Amino acid sequence: MDGHSMNHGVDPGSNNFLRACRREEVDTTPIWLMRQAGRYMPEYRALRERWGILDIIKQPELACQVTLQPINAFALDAAIIFADILPILEGMGLSLEFIKGEGPLIHNPIRSADDIERLRIPTPEQSLPFTLEAIRLARTELDPLGIPLIGFSGAPFTLASYAIEGGPSKNLKRVKALMMNEPGLWRALMTKLSTAAGEYLYAQATSGAHVLQLFDSWCGELSPWDYETHVLPYVQRTIEIAKRSGVPIILFGVGTSGLLGLMSTSGADVIGADWRISLPDARERIGPDIAIQGNLDPIALLASWDALKERAQRVLADAAGVPGHIFNLGHGILPETPTDNVKRLVEFVHTPTSGN
């Protein structure tokens, strides 16, 4: 165990991560890293020799074990449940596979009104019981360490992107075509996806997640007008459903500099910013009432320690003086990341003088 003192349960009054979500003063800036469990860790690669990613996600003991790998290796302030944004689509009737070396593939992507009509909305207990169970298991391990647990879901637009494109896509041609040409179908699809995502987040909170993050990874591909008209209402709907749980909600996207003002009307308590915008500029657009998460370039973790430290210090200095900053990357950690840099980064962020 590395840097975590033993106590019992997570005290929301004194936990730095939970305090930062509520924009309260903290003694050191909390840090966690998107995709903190994953291929850059030898422990994870060892498990992946034997199991596929969906195998790990669907066996709660394994998902719990992977959730704890980065917690055991680094003094991180939060754990994120090991899962993925795409399995929710399986319960809705889509057939999902992760192809080695290529990423996700949906064998029957949405291409017609009938496909949208056929999409089911099972309860999370029916379609994703393994992740809810993994959350309960992870809580029993994390509570003695005083580490809070983050649950997450894909946001409706990013889920629609995979459901329609069938896999990763460069310009999101098909999803944008549906959005622009078929407003009625778009509304039907986005209503179903926001119900499913909202209920899934809510169930994760009632299963034990302290905080929920909504990943809208690809929303930065949209014009502000399309985002406001065709996407934001469904983000708001998702958050409204999840919020009944009472836990803080983080809204994250990539390339969102032009959307941050709109995202601040989503109902989220925390908004993620990537490295393409400075934190003071992001704060200006988000306003004073929402916390900020970010925003180190993940590539900085591949650089020398001196170069990495300089950029981490910049992030801390940019955030200094205003409560409500959670240190994170602007997007997920890369598989090539040296674990030693992660360890040093976490220690650096926790050193009280680092931001000066």
Backbone angles phi, psi at 118, to 5 degrees: -75, -15
Task: Name the one residue in this structure whose structure tokens are 């056929």.
Answer: 118
What is the radius of gyration, based on Cα positions, of the chain? 19
Options 81-89, 169-177, 178-186, 239-247: segment touching ligand CP3 (CB under 6 A): 81-89
Options 10-18, 96-104, 308-316, 321-329: segment touching ligand CP3 (CB under 6 A): 96-104
Min separation Cβ 3 and ligand CP3, Å: 19
Should residue 64 be labelled a site residue for ligand CP3 when binding is judged by CB under 6 A?
Answer: no
Residue pair 275/312 in contact by the 8 Å Cβ criterion: no
343: left (phi over 0), alpha (psi -120 to 50) or beta: alpha
Contact code string over 139-178 relative to ligand CP3, x by CB under 6 A: -------------x---------------x----------
Should residue 217 be labelled a site residue for ligand CP3 when binding is judged by CB under 6 A?
Answer: yes
Catalytic (active site) residue 40: no
Catalytic residue among 40, 162, 227, 234: 162
Should residue 280 be labelled a site residue for ligand CP3 when binding is judged by CB under 6 A?
Answer: no
Min separation Cβ 114 and ligand CP3, Å: 26
230: which 2 tokens?
A: 């065709």
Catalytic residue among 11, 19, 22, 39: 39
Residue pair 16/148 in contact by the 8 Å Cβ criterion: no
Min separation Cβ 299 and ligand CP3, Å: 14
Catalytic (active site) residue 44: no
Options 28-36, 113-121, 185-193, 270-278: segment touching ligand CP3 (CB under 6 A): 28-36
Catalytic (active site) residue 39: yes
Min separation Cβ 203 and ligand CP3, Å: 17
**HEC secondary structure over 192-236:** HHHHHHHHHHHHHHHHCCCEEEEECCCHHHCCHHHHHHHHHHHHH
Give the separation between CA 218 and CA 142, rounded to whole angstroms.
31
Query: By rule CB under 6 A, what count of residues binds ligand CP3?
Result: 22
Give the separation between CA 34 and CA 143, rounded to whole angstroms.
21
Interface with ligand CP3 (CB under 6 A), residue from 38, 124, 151, 156 = 38
- Cα-based torsion angle of the residue sequence 236, 160, 103, 66 in order, rounded to the nearest 10 degrees: 30
Should residue 312 be labelled a site residue for ligand CP3 when binding is judged by CB under 6 A?
Answer: no
C-beta closer to ligand CP3: residue 29 or 213: 213
- Cα-based torsion angle of the residue sequence 216, 219, 224, 227 in order, rounded to the nearest 10 degrees: -70
Interface with ligand CP3 (CB under 6 A), residue from 36, 69, 341, 354 = 36
Q: Comparing C-alpha atoms, which of 342, 355, 292 is closest to residue 3?
A: 342
| Contact set with ligand CP3 (CB under 6 A) | 34-39, 48, 53, 80, 82, 84-86, 98, 103-104, 152, 168, 215, 217, 331-332
Active site residues: 35, 39, 48, 84, 162
